[in-house]
Amino acid sequence: MAPLPPTSSRIEMDPLRNSPKKPSASPESDFSGPLLPKAAEANPDSRSSREIVLLAVTGMAPAVVTETVWALAHEHPPVLPHRICILTTSAGKRCAEEELFSPSPAFGGCSVWEILRQTLLRDREDRSPRLIFDEIRLLGHPDPREGRRRPLEDIRRASENEALADALLEEVRRISENPDTALIASIAGGRKTMSALLYACVSLLGRPQDRVTHVLVNEPFDDPRLSPRFYFPTCPASRHSFPIPGKRALRTISSDAAQIELADIPFVPLRLLFPKQIGSFPGHFTTLVESCSERLSSLARKPRVSLQEDRPFLIVDGRSVSLSPREYLLYAFLLDRLRNGSPPFSAQKDAVTTLIEFLSRLSQTHPVESFQRQAAGAWDDPNDDDLRKLLSSVRKKLRAAGFAAELDRLLPRRGSFGIDAIPG
């Protein structure tokens, strides 16, 4: 984003230290333009106390990081990430180090990142826990010839894309396994495969509090030929020049014309659908995708259900779920109606009378010593509240057993008190 012009009076040199003075927080401060609203300064992103982590993939245009941070800081309420993590190639790391962290004459000897922090944090940058840039993470892949892991200079081959996918999955896993974090994944930088794979990883492991974003900057501020490069709006505005197509002339434009917009990209948090598969966190991206794909295929089929006769266990697609004796009886009632082709009740309370009749028949068909007969005899006067509590308990057990995606088939739904499965 746009550096300050060399003639700018925005950065004054401290004669005692021969270094740039930090901008004042007063209204007359040279950097007062893009600062955060005063009401939000003390508690940016007051919506949550979680640690906010911005994770970005970058290539040869690290300005997407500063643009994203600037756009987040100007949301309502403002969002200032605590940590910024970027994953990139060897070439991308060199570019980020040079453009974001090297002293620049255009910024009075400060780096782009220093000035951005000063701009957004005012006089708090020395003590604020926010906008801390982590060590840049290099993407790498194993080199069997040398028996070591080598950093990737670029991502072109299939093996390099596989290594990228695994690295992104591990990074998203590391952040998302902590419930006290909120992830903002930026897919604005790097090659298209980097963005696509990061989005896929967040879809697999992301949580409701996480976000996927893309930053949009109007032309020509996204043009790499722009001189000087544009990183974020400065105050006062800076002047930038770029070549006019088909001519040997340059056009000059003010950074006042820059428009930065942050787009939130919706994603489906699949970990809520597949807690058992996602919870195990396979080490490889392809392994996790294959596991979830198998589960999706199974969802297209109705689950096969049966009940164990000697113990209170529900069998779903060959896997056992332990029930209490009373939960077993209720499920036996639902399964019996399914086998008989009886339609679902329109309301739960309508099932109580028929359930009582079923329990009476069950007591007559099972031995005295069976748990079914003993549980039926001990269940005096079943009521609507009993059914609600029992179904809630069974729902939790099925979810814990990895059947969250099948709950609508395995248990009654509002307006349809019955199950939709294949009786075993």
pLDDT per residue as tens digits for the range 354-363: 999 999 999 9
Q: Is residue 331 over pLDDT 90? A: yes
Q: What is the pLDDT of residue 175?
A: 95
Question: Alpha-carbon distance 27 to 40, whole Å?
Answer: 16
Q: DSSP letter string over 146-157?
A: TTEEEE-S---S
Instruction: State the amino acid at position 139 in one-letter form.
Output: L
Stretch 65-69: mean pLDDT, rounded?
A: 96
**Average pLDDT estimate for 109-116:** 91
Comparing CA positions, the residue from 357, 276, 396 lying closest to residue 411 is 396
pLDDT of residue 59: 92
pLDDT tens sequence across 161-198: 999 999 999 999 999 999 999 999 999 999 999 999 99
pLDDT category of residue 17 using cuts at 50, 70 and 90: very low
138: β partners: 88
pLDDT at residue 313, rounded to an integer: 98
Intervals of CATH 1.10.10 along the chain: 301-423
Task: For residue 35, name the pLDDT band (cuts at 50, 70, 90).
Answer: very low
pLDDT tens-digit readout, 388-412: 999 999 999 999 998 888 899 999 9
pLDDT band at 29 (very low <50, low <70, confident <90, very high): very low
pTM of this structure: 0.69
For residues 55-81, give the mean pLDDT: 95
How many CB atoms are closer than 10 A to CB 399?
15
Predicted local distance difference test score (pLDDT) of residue 417: 96
What string of H, E and C letters represents the secondary structure of 346-413?
Answer: CCHHHHHHHHHHHHHHHHHHCCCCCHHHHHHHHCCCCCHHHHHHHHHHHHHHHHHCCCHHHHHHHCCE
Of the two residues 394 and 244, the one the predictor is more confident about is 394
Q: Which CATH class is domain 301-423?
A: mainly alpha
pLDDT for 282-327, tens place per residue?
A: 578 998 888 888 777 777 789 999 999 999 999 999 999 999 999 9
Query: Residue with structure tokens 């009740």?
Result: 345
415 DSSP assignment:
T
Place 226 in a pLDDT band, splitting at 50, 70 and 90: confident
344/338 Cα distance (integer angstroms): 9
What's the topology of domain 13-267? Rossmann fold (3.40.50)
Backbone angles phi, psi at 235, to 5 degrees: -135, 115
Share of the chain above pLDDT 90, in %: 58
Longest dimension (CA), the chain: 99
d(CA 184, CA 380): 54
Question: How does the average pLDDT of the chain come out, rounded?
Answer: 84
Q: Where are the alpha helices (DSSP H) in 253-324?
A: 275-279, 285-299
For residue 132, with 0-12 CB atoms within 10 Å meaning exposed, 13-18 middle and 19 or more buried, which class applies?
exposed
Residue 380: predicted pLDDT: 87
Q: Where in the chain is the domain with CATH 3.40.50.10770?
A: 13-267
